[in-house]
Amino acid sequence: MVWRETGIMDERLRFVVDCLSGEETMTQLCAAYGISRKSGYKWLGRYREFGPEGLHDRPRAPLNHGRATAEDLVGRIVAMKEIHPLWGAKKIMARLKRAEPCCGWPAVSTAGEILRRHGLVGRRRKRWKAAGNGPWPEASEPNAVWTGDHKGWFRTRDGWRCEPLTVMDVSSRYLLGLEATSSTADEEAWPVFERLFEENGLPDRFRSDNGSPFASAGVAGLTPLAARFIKLGIALERIQPGKPQQNGRHERFHLTMLPMAKAPEADRAAQAQAFEAFRRSYNEERPHEALGMGTPSQHYCPSTRPMPRKPPEPDYPAEAAVRSVRQNGAVKWQGAEIYVSATLAGEPIAIEETENGEWAMRFYAHPLGFIDHKHMKLVRRSATPTKPPGAAANPS
């Protein structure tokens, strides 16, 4: 039997008082209160040891149980979290299991509880998901597509403005470059890419937004950096304005490195060292869920297309009208000047007739636009297919 449901503490206290009075035996008292003699002796013993507080119910959960995680494993889980405060339980356990696969590591959920007990897990932020791949085919292998962008600027502790330039391989998530540049100017970006091309070879395609140094607002949209990419045979992929999800994986990475901007280093040199340490950890230590909890360095390999000593000449067909862009950025066509891009001054471009009877311009393999014969200017999109009267393949 059990204690009466009302006034349990009062019942236990009265029972103890009656026991201590010695007027009745334990057997008689237990029968009167409807409890077993074992329970009677238990409550009397607790009262003698702890006083009235001993009559409260104790937690039923065992202090230790056979499935408890060993203390040394708990310590190593906590230590890994302190080394990598931005990692969650899933990444921490993947890293530990990769280092010592034969160790009896607990489940990810158990590791999460351990981190919570030690106050190392804050409120979970809603996860930003990178959706879609834009209008382009998926990257099937390393170096099929690289992505690049400038992370929002911040100042180091000495006041220097830092505009981090980030470059990644889409397929392997390998962080190729994380550079502490001071602006988005071409003269700062090109030396970074030149080094990356020499170290890793050339990608097939490069994806970016429409800002500097990757694109310009002109009709051709070219910058010196973009022109260099085109001459090296790298196809350009530019996301649509207002659609960062088309470069979603890169944008998601910027959230991962955001805490670095909130805790800047002392100066430019220290920031560069911190960026390089982060890049190595990201590539070689940090497990990536999309890679089966492997690391980017396990999935990346250099390109089979080496950086040439000198860009090749364009291979335009014989039937194309080849024009050299003048210093003012225009080409001569049918007695008029059509502006193309000042970036291409001195470069040869090809003008070819399409199946619809229009005239399209390109620089190497990169399409520049179509000639609008009504207004004699270059436009980005195809106009109504009308072939100008008497137009020849190589008009002067």
Q: What is the pLDDT of residue 396?
A: 46
Identify which of 208, 237, 216 has the alpha carbon closest to the alpha carbon of residue 343. Answer: 216
Q: How far apart are CA 239 and CA 233, in angstroms?
A: 19
User: Are residues 200 and 303 in contact, defined by beta-carbon separation less than 8 angstroms?
Assistant: yes
Identify which of 321, 175, 195 has the alpha carbon closest to the alpha carbon of residue 253. Answer: 175
Q: Which two tokens stand for residue 324?
A: 């050299």
User: Are residues 80 and 96 in contact, defined by beta-carbon separation less than 8 angstroms?
Assistant: yes
The pLDDT tens digits along the chain (396 residues) read 454 544 788 888 888 888 888 888 888 888 888 888 888 888 888 888 888 888 887 776 655 555 677 787 788 888 887 777 778 888 888 888 888 888 878 888 888 888 888 787 765 555 545 444 557 778 889 999 999 999 889 999 999 999 999 999 999 999 999 999 999 999 999 999 999 999 999 999 999 999 999 999 888 999 999 999 999 999 999 998 877 777 878 888 888 888 888 899 999 999 999 999 999 999 999 888 888 889 999 999 999 999 999 999 999 999 999 999 999 999 999 989 999 999 999 999 999 999 988 999 999 999 999 999 888 999 987 655 444 444 444 554
The label of the residue with tokens 């202090």 reads 63
Q: What is the pLDDT of residue 128?
A: 46
- Output Rg (C-alpha) for the chain, integer angstroms: 36
DSSP alpha helix (H) spans, 107-223: 108-117, 186-200
**Alpha-carbon dihedral angle through residues 33, 35, 36, 37, given to the nearest 10 degrees:** -40
The pTM assigned to this predicted structure is 0.70
Q: Which two tokens stand for residue 330?
A: 């225009």
